[in-house]
Amino acid sequence: MKRKVTVPMNYLTIEGIKALLEQPDTRTSKGRRDLALLSLMYDTGARVQEVIDLVPSSLRLDGLNTICITGKGNKTRIVPMLEDQVRLLKLYITEHQLEQGSNNKHPLFFNSRREKLTRAGVNHILIKYAEMARKTSNVYLPEKISCHVLRHSKAMHLLQAGVNLVYIRDILGHVSVQTTEVYAKADSRAKREAIEKAYTSVAPQKEPIWLSNNNLLDWLKSF
C-alpha cells in the first residue's frame, strides 16, 4: 500500500467554540436557527448529514432530553443533551411551530424555502461564522475549518475531561473503540501531562566547579 501523509487533526479549543457560537445574531430568525444548528452539532458530536436528516420527532425534550441520531448503515444511537442545548432547541421549535404533530417529519433545520439544508449549506454557515470569529476575537481558529471539525472538537473535549473512550465511541457512533482511539493519539496536551507526571529529573542540579572558578578559566584561556 502506498504511504499517505498523516494530516494533523483539526479541532477547536473550548474558547474557540465559545467564540464561534457568539457570532450568530440572535435578534434574527436565521441567527437563532444557526445558533441552534451549530451548538447541536458540537454538543452531540453528530456528522453533518446526521444533523441534516434530523426531524422534530428525533428529539425527546420531556425531561430525559435525548436525541435519536441515525448514522452510517442506518444505525441509530441515543445521545443525551444538556439544559443549555435543550433551551435553544425549545425556543427554535416553538418559533417555527415544529412541535405540532403535522410537522413531526419536517426537517428540523431548513432554509428560507423550508427545504432541508444541504451539506454545502451547513458548511457555508460554519465558515461564515468562523471568519467573523477570527475578526472579532483573539482566539485561534484553524485556517481550514469544516463541519467535521466540530465533531473532532467534541470528542477531544470529552477526552480531555476524562470521559472513557467507550462512552465517546457511543456518542460519536463509532463501530469500534479502535476508531475512537485516534483522538487519544492526537491529544498532545494529555501526552504532555502524562510525561510530566512520570518525569524524574536525572540531570545534575549543581554546576561543575570549574564554571565558577574564574582563575581556572583565565588560565585555560591563556593557552
Q: Would you please indicate which residues are annotated as catalytic (active-site) residues?
A: 47, 72, 148, 151, 174, 183
DSSP H stretches of helix in 3-70: 14-21, 29-44, 48-52
**CA–CA dist 20, 30 (Å, integer):** 16
Burial of 46 (0-12, 13-18, 19+ CB in 10 A): buried
The per-residue DSSP string of 66-85 comes to EEEEE-GGG-EEEEE--HHH
Q: Under 8 Å CB-to-CB from 46, ≥6 apart: which residues?
A: 40, 69, 79, 151
154: helix, strand or coil: helix
Is residue 117 within 8 A of residue 109, CB to CB? The reply is yes
